Amino acid sequence: MENFTFYSPTFFAFGKDTENDCGKYVRRFGGSKVLIHYGGGSVVRSGLLDLVKASLDKEGIDYVELGGVKPNPRSGLVYEGIDLVKKENVDFILAVGGGSTIDSSKAIAAGAVYDGDFWDFYQGKEIEKALPIGTILTIAAAGSEGSPNSVITKEEGMFKRGAGGDAIRPKFSILNPALTQTLPAFQTAAGATDIIAHLYERYITNSVEVEVTDRLIEALLLTMKHETPRVIADPDNYEARANIMWAGMMAHNNSCGVGRSQDWNSHTIEHELSALYDCAHGAGLAVTMPAVFRYCMDHNIMRFAQVAVRVWGCQMDFAHPEVTALEGIKALQDFLISIGMPRNFGELGAKEEDIPKLVEVLCKGDGREGTISGFVTLNEEDCTKIYKMMV
């Protein structure tokens, strides 16, 4: 196990009706003027936004609103949010929605107290200061409710990039699984795929002797394997949704990633797909992960054989561990297809003729120097081959 630091200060309120306490938590964590930030309207239609306002009113907390966050959130609305926060003297940001809304809130929170362009953070500068953030989560997926990360797409050039820093970990996050019952099945499945990817990208490591985190990841993968088909079959299954929602938080607050190197090549390669085609991040990952894993597995075949045996129930072939590894990758892909995820470029809405453009932005866009690095380092030729495997 490698040396690490771990700081996860978020207060979690989990369960039915917990959204009604958001005003109380904003007060507890020092907010007196709130920006309520939300997406394209699901929280308006579900009545959640009204509940949030009622809770803030009850505590006598003033607020302004900014809706309109798109999935794969854009820089334009972030700039608008920063201006609004400064103009209205907002001192707390309340994200009501999914990962996109939370990430946009984090970008605003960091940008509002920074003299330069907030995009600097998405080009590698660590976020050290930000306004406090609270979240009310409506989809189990990105894990942004407990993570120190934010992913934004810069409209000029359509660069989708991540930023990070403990300063943007939420002060509190409210997780009511019942709020996810209104999700379309496709979004539920895309969210589950993202959770599975966050687990895999930590499992695929170059570190050794990481038994505790290996076992935690395996437990969460087994949970996702069991619970996801249950909510797809029965969207109102509160208990299955509850297990998925907490698995989503645990998958990405990094409690499963400490003390080990991590991969993230699948995420990096996928981000170009959701930037160019505006597909759901999880759907992009369903197509990306199997290709990346097949391409990279020789680097440490036993990593892939181990997850195949322990999670997917494959028989270990000691003479030919690559056979077991491949069976595990196939089992993962079959599972993702069974919950309604796409299997290739065509089903995702991606085009083979765009591959040179995807590779160019992936490897050289916005300051990158020709390679991406994770479990293995990949150059333009590698990335071209990987995208071709997805066709």
Binding site for Zn ion (CB under 5 A): 194
**Beta-carbon neighbour count of residue 77 at 10 Å?**
20
Minimal distance, residue 185 CB to ligand NZQ, in Å: 11
Q: Which one of Zn ion, ligand NZQ, none is in contact with 40 (Cβ closer than 5 to 8 A by kind)? A: ligand NZQ
Burial class of residue 248 in the structure, from the number of CB atoms within 10 Å of its CB (0-12 exposed, 13-18 middle, 19+ buried): buried
Cα–Cα dist 181/177, whole Å: 7
Q: Which is nearer to ligand NZQ, 95 or 326 (CB)?
A: 95
Burial class of residue 88 in the structure, from the number of CB atoms within 10 Å of its CB (0-12 exposed, 13-18 middle, 19+ buried): middle
Q: Which one of Zn ion, ligand NZQ, none is in contact with 275 (Cβ closer than 5 to 8 A by kind)? A: none
Amino acid 264 reads: W
Q: Which one of Zn ion, ligand NZQ, none is in contact with 157 (Cβ closer than 5 to 8 A by kind)? A: none
- Whether the Cβ atoms of residue 175 and residue 246 lie closer than 8 Å to each other: yes
- Whether the Cβ atoms of residue 67 and residue 38 lie closer than 8 Å to each other: yes
Minimal distance, residue 201 CB to Zn ion, in Å: 8
For CA atoms 256, 259, 265, 268, the dihedral sign is positive
Minimal distance, residue 332 CB to ligand NZQ, in Å: 17
Tokens of 339: 């919950």
Q: Tell me which residues touch ligand NZQ (CB under 6 A).
A: 39-43, 71-72, 97-101, 103, 138-139, 141-144, 147, 149-151, 179-180, 182-183, 187, 191, 194, 252, 267, 274, 281
Q: Which is nearer to Zn ion, 19 or 194 (CB)?
A: 194
Cα–Cα dist 292/311, whole Å: 19
Minimal distance, residue 80 CB to Zn ion, in Å: 25
Q: Which one of Zn ion, ligand NZQ, none is in contact with 23 (Cβ closer than 5 to 8 A by kind)? A: none
Q: Which one of Zn ion, ligand NZQ, none is in contact with 85 (Cβ closer than 5 to 8 A by kind)? A: none
Burial class of residue 317 in the structure, from the number of CB atoms within 10 Å of its CB (0-12 exposed, 13-18 middle, 19+ buried): middle
Q: Which is nearer to Zn ion, 194 or 214 (CB)?
A: 194
Minimal distance, residue 267 CB to Zn ion, in Å: 6
Q: Which is nearer to ligand NZQ, 137 or 314 (CB)?
A: 137
Minimal distance, residue 56 CB to ligand NZQ, in Å: 19
Minimal distance, residue 71 CB to ligand NZQ, in Å: 3
Q: Which is nearer to ligand NZQ, 168 or 308 (CB)?
A: 168
Q: Which is nearer to ligand NZQ, 242 or 309 (CB)?
A: 242
Q: Which one of ligand NZQ, Zn ion, none is in contact with 191 (Cβ closer than 5 to 8 A by kind)? A: ligand NZQ
Q: Which is nearer to ligand NZQ, 285 or 296 (CB)?
A: 285
Of the candidates 337, 50, 63, 14, which has an alpha carbon nearest to the alpha carbon of residue 180? 14
Which residues lie closer than 8 Å to 47 by C-beta, 6 or more apart? none
Task: Report residue 42: phi and psi, to 5°.
Answer: -60, -35
How far are the Cα atoms of 29, 37, 88, 198, 231 from residue 193, in angstroms, in the given order? 32, 25, 38, 9, 13
Q: Which is nearer to Zn ion, 194 or 382 (CB)?
A: 194
Q: Which one of Zn ion, ligand NZQ, none is in contact with 269 (Cβ closer than 5 to 8 A by kind)? A: none
Q: Which one of Zn ion, ligand NZQ, none is in contact with 141 (Cβ closer than 5 to 8 A by kind)? A: ligand NZQ
Minimal distance, residue 143 CB to Zn ion, in Å: 7
Q: Tokens 């069976």 — which residue?
A: 327
Of the candidates 122, 39, 121, which has an alpha carbon nearest to the alpha carbon of residue 81? 39
Q: Which residue is nearest to Zn ion (CB)?
A: 194
Q: Which is nearer to ligand NZQ, 145 or 327 (CB)?
A: 145
Minimal distance, residue 184 CB to Zn ion, in Å: 19
- Measure CA 331 to chain center: 22
In sequence order, the β-bridge partners of residue 134 are 94, 172
